[in-house]
């Protein structure tokens, strides 16, 4: 096994090296704590220094290979390594920044200090430090003792391997974003612009297809189309369940339970943490099937409505080793025509992004609830002919299948990475 030495982080890196110099800066790329989770940087805000309000926490400067580590609740893993800093990149004071001062491979250093045992250790310190919320001080991170291989080439081999795995996971995530964007573009072209292929394969509306004004919708729709309610597409509703944490009495049927918090990982990220639960055997009619849609009916926030939606297809089901259901805060929809699944999903998604569901919310005991029945029974929409739904499904199903295949691959890569990480760091295996 290669030789190692123990170091405190302060012997290898400088904490909070410098603040950003705003002099002469017209804009910044601001990174808040919520933008970073396990080395994924998303939602970075480009802010104009004159027209926008610059957050008071936007102060810390970063450079290539700076590690940002959230001081608040280390167990939430708001940390990452900046590989390609954006121009005028500024991070929140909620981060502790680390810049290397010794010759050590930056990727190796990042994966070493973010190992689960160190995360757990720092979170324990944060809890003990807690006044308002659990947080660590820069000195807590600086005093952390880690074991480092002496041979730089060994460090680099380990760092490169782990970073390559993460790069592949991130590539899958980017591909998925493009695949869903392609599906949304096709939806807009067919059902917003009404340029679906006509009988001759030409774009319907642009080629002069007849459009009729519909007073119920307040707009034109293709001639011959009906106006329907969302409920008209539905075959049955599947209620949620929470069951028991362990086998208890007649609660013997093991399932994984999808919560609202699992929606992003179900359709866009690599790992689903839906918990295992045990339900009554006579509740197995609540199990989800290919073509079902799930809607979050309770939750939200002042700036986020209820009504988030995700889809279930064969690829989704393959990501679980048991059947899946929804929690009590969600409702599943089975459609009369499975070919309508992605059409309804994308239609509903547009409504959600437009903020429509803020108008269909009530409150009980402080929790926002979607007025689901009211919405599906009163919201009118164009009734798309079955043949067109079938054609749209044939175009979009391969895209959403590929998304789930990429997510499954990313999950497996993450499992391999997490399996290898401690053994590589301990020298039990070598690259």
Query: Are 202 and 79 members of one domain?
Result: no
Give a yes or no: residue 198 inside a domain.
yes
Calpha distance 410→267 (Å, rounded): 12
* CATH, residue 285: 3.90.220.20
pLDDT at 269: 67
pLDDT of residue 364: 67
Q: Is residue 426 in a domain?
A: no
Residue 222 falls inside a structural domain:
yes
Under a CB-based contact definition with an 8 Å cutoff, are residues 183 and 36 in contact? no
Higher pLDDT, 304 or 194: 194
Structure tokens at 422: 């401690």
Co-location of 186 and 250 in the same domain? yes
Looking at residue 270, its pLDDT comes to 59
* Segments forming the whole domain that contains residue 371: 176-408
Per-residue pLDDT at 375 exceeds 70: yes
Does residue 201 share a domain with residue 144? no
**Tens digits of per-residue pLDDT, 28-81?**
999 999 999 999 998 999 999 999 999 999 999 999 999 999 999 999 999 999
**Domain-embedded: residue 9:** yes
> For position 65, what pLDDT does the model report?
97
Q: What is the pLDDT of residues 98-119, one digit of tens each?
A: 999 999 999 999 999 999 999 9
Q: pLDDT value at position 365? A: 66
Residues 272 and 385 occupy one common structural domain: yes
pLDDT tens per residue, range 124-162: 999 998 678 899 999 999 999 999 999 999 999 999 999
Q: Are residues 125 and 262 in the same domain?
A: no
Tokens of 110: 């990042």
| Residue 99 to residues 17, 19, 44, 83, Cα–Cα distance (Å) | 7, 13, 21, 12
pLDDT for 330 beyond 90 = yes
**For residues 178-193, average pLDDT:** 97
Q: Does 418 reside within a domain?
A: no
Average pLDDT, the chain: 94
Q: Is residue 400 part of a domain?
A: yes
Same domain, residue pair 328 and 272: yes
Based on the fold, state whether residues 17 and 115 are members of the same structural domain: yes
Tokens of 232: 């008209």
Q: Based on the domain organization, do 54 and 185 belong to the same domain?
A: no
Taking only the tens place, the pLDDT of each residue in 385-431 is 999 999 999 999 999 999 999 999 999 999 999 999 999 999 888 88
Residues 111 and 213 in one domain: no
Report the DSSP pairing between strands 367-370 and 380-383: unpaired
- Structure confidence at residue 47 (pLDDT): 96
The secondary structure of the chain, three-state, reads CCCEEEEEHHHCEEECCCECCCCCCCEEEEECHHHEECCEECCCEEEECCCCCCCCCEEEECCCCCEEEECECHHHCCEEECCCCCCCEEEECCEEEEEECCCCCHHHHHHHHCCHHHHHHHHHHHHHHCCCCCECCHHHHHCCEEEEECCHHHHHHHHHHHHHHHHHHHHHHHHHHHHHHHHHHHHHHHHHCCCCECCCCCECCCCCCCEEEECCCCEEEECCCEEEEHHHHEEEEECCCCCECCCECCECEEEEEECHHHHHHHHCCCCCCCCEEEECHHHHHHCCCCCCEEEECEECECCECCCCEEECCHHHHHCCCCEEEECCCEEEEEECCHHHHHHHHHHHHHHHHCCHHHHHEEEECCEEEECHHHHHHHCEEEECCHHHHHHHHHHHHHHHHHHHHHHHHHHHHHHHHHHHHHHHHHCCCCC
pLDDT reported for residue 284:
84
CB 389 within 8 Å of CB 396: no
Assign 194 a pLDDT band (cuts: 50, 70, 90).
very high
Please indicate, yes or no, whether residues 264 and 365 belong to a single structural domain of this protein: yes
pTM, two decimals, is 0.87
**What distance in Å separates the CA atoms of residue 296 and residue 376, rounded to the nearest whole number?**
14
Distance between CA 293 and CA 68 in Å, rounded? 37
Quick check: is 53 in a domain?
A: yes
- Spatial CA neighbour of 373 closest among 225, 258, 266, 239: 239
Distance CA 411, CA 398 (A): 20
247-303 residue pLDDT tens:
999 999 999 999 998 998 898 765 788 999 999 998 888 999 999 999 999 987 888
Indicate if 358 and 396 belong to the same structural domain.
yes
- Number of domains within the chain: 2
> Mean pLDDT throughout 179-200?
96
């Amino acid at each position: 096994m290669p030789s190692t030495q123990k170091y405190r982080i302060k012997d290898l890196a400088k904490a909070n090296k410098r603040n950003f110099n705003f002099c002469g800066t017209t804009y910044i790329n601001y990174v808040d704590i919520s933008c970073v989770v396990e080395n994924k940087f998303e939602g970075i805000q480009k802010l104009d220094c004159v027209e926008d309000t610059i957050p008071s926490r936007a102060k810390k400067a970063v450079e290539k290979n700076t590690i940002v580590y959230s001081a608040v609740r280390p167990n939430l893993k708001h940390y990452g390594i900046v590989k390609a800093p954006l121009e005028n990149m500024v991070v929140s004071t909620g981060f502790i920044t680390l810049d290397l001062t010794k010759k050590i491979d930056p990727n190796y250093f990042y994966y070493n200090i973010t190992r689960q045992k160190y995360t757990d250790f720092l979170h324990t310190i944060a809890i003990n430090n807690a006044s308002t919320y659990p947080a660590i001080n820069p000195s807590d991170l600086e005093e952390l003792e880690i074991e480092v291989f002496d041979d730089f080439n060994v460090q680099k081999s380990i760092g490169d391997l782990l970073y390559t795995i993460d790069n592949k996971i991130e590539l899958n995530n980017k591909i998925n974003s493009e695949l869903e964007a392609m599906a949304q573009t096709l939806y807009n072209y067919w059902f917003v612009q009404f340029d679906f292929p006509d009988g001759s394969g030409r774009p319907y509306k642009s080629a002069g297809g007849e459009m009729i004004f519909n007073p119920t919708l307040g707009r034109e729709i293709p001639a011959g189309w009906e106006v329907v309610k969302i409920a008209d597409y539905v075959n049955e509703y599947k209620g949620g369940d929470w069951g028991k944490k362990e086998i208890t009495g007649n609660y013997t049927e093991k399932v994984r339970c999808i919560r609202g918090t699992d929606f992003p990982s179900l359709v866009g990220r690599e790992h689903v943490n839906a918990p295992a639960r045990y339900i009554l055997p006579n509740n197995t009619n609540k199990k989800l099937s290919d073509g079902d849609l799930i809607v979050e009916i309770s939750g939200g926030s002042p700036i986020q409505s209820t009504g988030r939606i995700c889809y279930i297809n064969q690829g989704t089901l393959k990501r679980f080793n048991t059947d899946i259901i929804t929690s009590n805060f969600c409702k599943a929809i089975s459609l009369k025509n499975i070919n309508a699944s992605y059409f309804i999903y994308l239609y509903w998604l547009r409504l959600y992004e437009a903020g429509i569901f803020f108008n269909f919310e009530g409150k009980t005991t402080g929790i926002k609830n979607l007025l689901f029945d009211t919405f599906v029974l009163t919201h009118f929409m164009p009734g798309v002919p079955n043949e067109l739904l079938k054609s749209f499904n044939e175009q979009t199903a391969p895209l959403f299948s590929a998304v789930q295949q990429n997510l499954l691959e990313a999950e497996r890569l993450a499992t391999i990475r997490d399996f290898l990480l401690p053994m590589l760091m301990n020298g039990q295996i070598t690259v």
